[in-house]
Amino acid sequence: MLLEKRSIQDVDVGGKKILMRVDFNVPLDEGRVRDDSRIRAALPTIEMLLSKGAKLALASHLGRPKGKHSPDLMMDPVAARLSEILSKQVHKLGVAVGPEVKEAVSKLKDGELLLLENLRFDKGEEENDPSYARLLAEPFDLFVNDAFGTAHRAHASTVGVASYLPALAGLLMKKEIEELSTCLENPRRPLTAILGGAKVSDKINVIRRFLNLADTLLVGGGMANTFLAAEGYNLGASFYEKDQLEEANALLKESKSSSCNIVLPIDLAVTKDLKPGSHSEVVTPDKIKGEWQAVDIGPETAAIFSGYIEESAVVVWNGPLGVYEVPPFDNGTEVVAQIIAQSSAYSVIGGGDLVAALKALELSDYISFISTGGGATLEFWEGKELPGISVLQNKAG
């Protein structure tokens, strides 16, 4: 994966007509962009290309229109927000392919940009239909992919177009590859991986990867419940995956014969009623009564996690450590994030829910690198080849 990809820094982009795939799949609220983080993440690439005199067309999907035109998923709110951010009018076309695009692109002056319509209005996009990819590519000289969050999908605008245009990494794509690799390839040690979130089954390959790579694996969240159940604890009404007990046991066994230690919670916040501000208690895993459910790590567990984090050179973290959507069960996630913030460890974070949790807790600024990918980040960490990265040109050769 560390095969270095050719990026927009390696070629002359001046005057070139460039199709740039971005991840502008932003949350909307009554026709307005509610969170523009993904738009801002693409700005370094957009600004660099424009300053070097490229003629730029941005393309993204938005939501799940399933191959049909749907008025509420048009890119207009994105164009409006991007215009505000760039302090210049960003013209949005009504289509993503065809003569209208060709004409508009041919009229762009050096350093000007436009936005194409939602790529997924055509079913050729998700089907990676070669004829749709060819149409997409037709008006352009170069293809730049900055949509790391969609790189695990082989679609026309992430993979197909690369058959028709030289394909380069944008600055965000390049940074994601570099940052996510720092914890995979010859990482500085000690390397501590923190894994939380809901399911062992979603993350099995990531757990195994870090078990082979990290010095310590700290486990929290619903995932920890499954490990504790596998160890024989009675978890009352807690969420855990009954069909993953064998897998969890196998992982615990593997950790005994590997150099990576799995650390499970020794205390848990439990509640009978999962509601904001509901009554909760802190108990050891052997004291969870019938109707109670474990919804967060406890303070002693956080203190143990803290000890490992403070000794770490690198911390990589995926998945919240409790039901963060329901305060105060965001507490374990908050405490651990604060410990990371105060430590000297280099921290890399990925996963949709954890990123959202840290944002809500206003702790994002203290993390060294926050990945923009959800599923893409997990697949990268699993060691899978991401099709949208594979098709980019390699630096050597």
* Nearest Cα to Cα of residue 236 among 267, 264, 272: 272
**207 in contact with ligand ADP (CB under 6 A):** no
**221 in contact with ligand ADP (CB under 6 A):** yes
Q: Which of residues 330-389 bind Mg ion (CB under 5 A)?
A: 352-353
CA distance 18 to 168: 10
- Calculate ∠ Cα 36-8-86, nearest 5°: 35
Known catalytic residue at 170: no
The site string for ligand ADP over 152-191 (x = CB under 6 A, - otherwise) reads ----------------------------------------
* The entry of Mg ion, ligand ADP, none that residue 354 binds, CB within 5 to 8 Å by partner kind: ligand ADP
Q: In angstroms, how far apart are the furthest CA atoms of the chain?
A: 71
DSSP state at residue 5: B
* Nearest Cα to Cα of residue 101 among 128, 71, 134: 134
Known catalytic residue at 221: no
Identify residue 288 by its one-letter amino acid code. Answer: I
Q: Residue 44 or 352: which CB sits closer to Mg ion?
A: 352
Alpha-carbon distances, residue 177 vs 8, 122, 373, 377 (angstroms): 15, 29, 11, 9
CA distance 167 to 21: 11
List 149, 170, 222, 285, residue binding ligand ADP (CB under 6 A): 222
**How many C-beta neighbours within 10 Å does residue 181 have?**
16
Q: Residue 24 or 227: which CB sits closer to ligand ADP?
A: 227
Asked if residues 340 and 315 have their Cβ atoms less than 8 Å apart, the reply is yes
- From the list 53, 67, 236, 352, the catalytic residue is 352
**126 in contact with Mg ion (CB under 5 A):** no
List 33, 54, 337, 354, residue binding ligand ADP (CB under 6 A): 354
CB of 257 to ligand ADP, least distance (A): 27
The site string for ligand ADP over 316-345 (x = CB under 6 A, - otherwise) reads --xxx-xx-x--------------------
Known catalytic residue at 298: no
Q: Residue 124 or 322: which CB sits closer to ligand ADP?
A: 322
* The entry of Mg ion, ligand ADP, none that residue 222 binds, CB within 5 to 8 Å by partner kind: ligand ADP
CB of 33 to ligand ADP, least distance (A): 21
Q: Terminus-to-terminus CA distance in the chain, angstroms?
A: 16
DSSP state at residue 100: H
Stretch that binds ligand ADP, among 15-23, 207-215, 301-309, 350-358 (CB under 6 A): 350-358
Q: Which of residues 292-321 bind ligand ADP (CB under 6 A)?
A: 294-295, 318-320
Scored b (16 or more CB within 10 A) or e, 223-245 reads bbbbbbbbeebebbebbbbeebb
Asked if residues 339 and 309 have their Cβ atoms less than 8 Å apart, the reply is yes
- From the list 6, 21, 38, 120, the catalytic residue is 38
Asked if residues 10 and 98 have their Cβ atoms less than 8 Å apart, the reply is no
* Nearest Cα to Cα of residue 353 among 379, 388, 313, 322: 322
* The entry of ligand ADP, Mg ion, none that residue 366 binds, CB within 5 to 8 Å by partner kind: none
CB of 223 to Mg ion, least distance (A): 12
Strands 142-145 and 32-33, how do they pair? unpaired
Known catalytic residue at 15: no
Stretch that binds ligand ADP, among 66-74, 245-253, 298-306, 346-354 (CB under 6 A): 346-354
Contact footprint for Mg ion (CB under 5 A): 352-353
Q: What positions carry a catalytic annotation?
A: 38, 199, 352, 375
